[in-house]
Amino acid sequence: MAGSSLAPLLAVLYGSGFLAGFNENLVNMALVPIMGEYGVGSVTAQWLVTGYMIAVTVVVTCMAFLYRRFAVRRLFLAAAGLSFAGSLGGLVAPGFAALVAARLVQAVGTGIFIPLMMNVIVSRLPRASMGTYLAIGSSMITLGPALAPVVTGFMVSGLGWRSVFLVPLAGAALLAAAGWTVVRGGESSPEVRLDAPSAALAAAGLVALSFGLSEVALAPARGGAALVAA
C-alpha cells in the first residue's frame, strides 16, 4: 500500500479500536445514577456491562464469516452506524430495557471494529513493520477502557449519566465520515455461510453462565440450574 494512503487508513483504524475499547467501560461510572433513575438493583444494572461483553464476544466469534462475506468498507461503515445508533439510543433511552438494548447495539459495532482493525492491518500493511502496527492497535484497544472511567466520571458528575453517550456518539459520527473516504476495497464471498446454530449456542451458554454466577448467591437453586445449563 502506498505511503500516502497509509496514514489516513491507520488513523481511522486506530480510532475505531480506541472507540471500541472506550465503549466497554462507558457506563461503569454511571451505574449508580442509572439504578436510581430506573429503580433497578445492582444485579440487574450489571447487565449493562455483562450483556455488552457477551454480545461483543458472540460477534467476534462470527467475524471470520463476516470478514469473508462482506467487503471491508461495508463492515466498517456498518460498525460505525451501529455504534452511533446504540449511543443515540442510550442517550434518549426511556427505560432500562431500552438502555440495555442500546448497549447491545453498541456491542455489535465494537465486536466488528476490533477484529476488523487487526485483519486489515495484517492483510494490507507491510510485513516488515507488522509488529509495530499491531502493537499500536493493541495499545488503542487498551487505552480506551483505561480512559473511559476518568472521562465519564467527570461527565456524570457535571452533566448527568446520559452525557456519557455523547463521546461515542460523536466518535462514531467522525469515524463514519472518515471511513467513507478512507476505507476502500475488500472482497466479498457470497458463498460463505455462517454456522448460526453454533453462534446461538455460544450466546445462550454465555448468558446462562453469567446469569448463574450473578444469581447463585441470592437464589442458589435458580443460579445453580443456570450454571448446569451453561
DSSP 8-class letter at 39: T
* Verdict on whether the full-model pTM lies above 0.95: no
Segment holding 56, helix H or strand E: helix 47-61
Structural contact between residues 96 and 38, judged by C-beta atoms closer than 8 angstroms? yes
Q: Tell me the pLDDT of the chain (230 aa) as tens digits.
A: 444 567 888 899 999 999 999 998 899 999 999 999 999 988 888 889 988 988 888 888 888 888 888 888 889 999 999 999 999 999 999 999 999 999 999 999 888 998 898 888 888 777 888 888 899 989 999 999 999 999 999 999 989 999 999 999 999 999 999 989 888 766 666 677 766 777 777 777 777 776 666 665 566 666 566 556 65
